[in-house]
Structure 1
Amino acid sequence: MANAASGMAVRDECKLKFLELKTKRNYRFIIFKIENQEVVVEKLGSPEETYDDFSAAIPANECRYAVFDFDFTTDENCQKSKIFFIAWSPDTSKVRNKMVYASSKDRFKRELDGIQVELQATDPSEMSFDIIKARAF
């Protein structure tokens, strides 16, 4: 379960909740944080919540991983959905914190099978709704 490179474990709940988001669409988003050398679920967003709710739930000065289920309509009027993986590493967070998140990211992302778009953000503007929309198409 632990990653030899970063010593990071991923709690089973992370994979379980992601699977529920992907298959049952129980959640709009999931925010994960690293706590005591393991990735844990910090917050689950209900299906009714919006991208603004998601953005507000991410701490401004601390690193996080998140997945967001983005629903959209194509130019051909087809209803689609893409699952985004967002690695949030604000410039204002502690260097050690950024290093731990950076070294664990790929290993954690591999645990979540079904991610379609990855986004790395160090500033809120890098994960604005317009960027999410543009990356979805």
Structure 2
Amino acid sequence: MSFRGLSRSNTMSGMGVSAHSKNTYMELQRKKAHRYVIFKIDEKKKEVLVEKIGAPAEGYDDFTASLPENDCRYAVYDFDFVTSENCQKSKIFFIAWSPSTSKIRAKMLYATSKDKFRRELEGIHYEIQATDPTEMDLEVIKDRAN
């Protein structure tokens, strides 16, 4: 096997996850310290890093506005809602954002790293793969949560 082939298979196996990324997710999940977290792959460090954290008071529009229009990201969103029985509930969504306008290399990198990263985040209720905003709009989130 050539060095080049070895290098590519390492890239394809997925990125590492920074301790900060895991801890920030745990703060969202356990302490409700954040509404959402957006993660970005740092190719040089070969790690998934926290790019942006949403305050608990921020809403879904703030979250979607924080995703880049032409680049891929991973995100978790803590969705609060009231059930038909009037119970307050919360579901955590993992969103793999891969807009059709992003570069093919980015799409491949995020696609091949997603499963490994997703497994690091325990307690995710739902996963959504979105290539345009309509695939993850608030109605989609509400339908999945109920």
Q: State TM-score, norm by structure 1.
A: 0.96
| Equivalent residues of 2:14, 2:112 under 8 A apart | no
| 1:68 shift after superposition | 0.1
Q: Give ranges in structure 2 of 5+ residues lacking alignment.
A: 1-8
Cα RMSD for the two superposed structures: 1.2
Correspondences of 1:22-33 after superposition (within 5 Å): 22-33=29-40
Contact 2:14 2:116 in 1 (8 A): no
Which runs of 5 or more structure 1 residues have no equivalent in the other structure? Answer: none
Check the 8 A contact 2:37/2:52 in 1, yes or no: yes
Q: 1:54 aligns with which of 63, 84, 94?
A: 63
Q: How many aligned positions are there?
A: 135
Sort the Cα spacing of 1:7 and 1:66 in 2 relative to 1 into closer, same or farther, 3 A: closer
Q: Using the alignment, how far apart are the partners of 2:24 and 2:136 within structure 1?
A: 22
Greater Cα radius of gyration, structure 1 or 2 = 2
- Matches of 1:88 and 1:46, distance apart in 2: 20
Q: Give per-residue Cα distances to partners, 1:89-110, cap 9 Å, x unaligned.
A: 0000000100000000000000
Distance change (3 Å), C-alpha of 1:77 and 1:21? same
Which residues of 2 match residues 42-121 of structure 1 at below 5 A?
A: 42-121=51-130
Q: TM-score, normalised by structure 2?
A: 0.90
Asked whether 1:10 is paired with 2:48, we answer no
Measure, in 2, the Cα distance between the counterparts of 1:92 and 1:124. Answer: 12
CA contact (8 A) 1:6 1:100 kept: no
Equivalent position amino acid for 2:25 in 1: F
Task: Please state which structure has a larger fraction of its residues in helix.
Answer: 2
Q: Secondary structure at the match of 1:49?
A: coil
SS in 2 for 1:47: coil
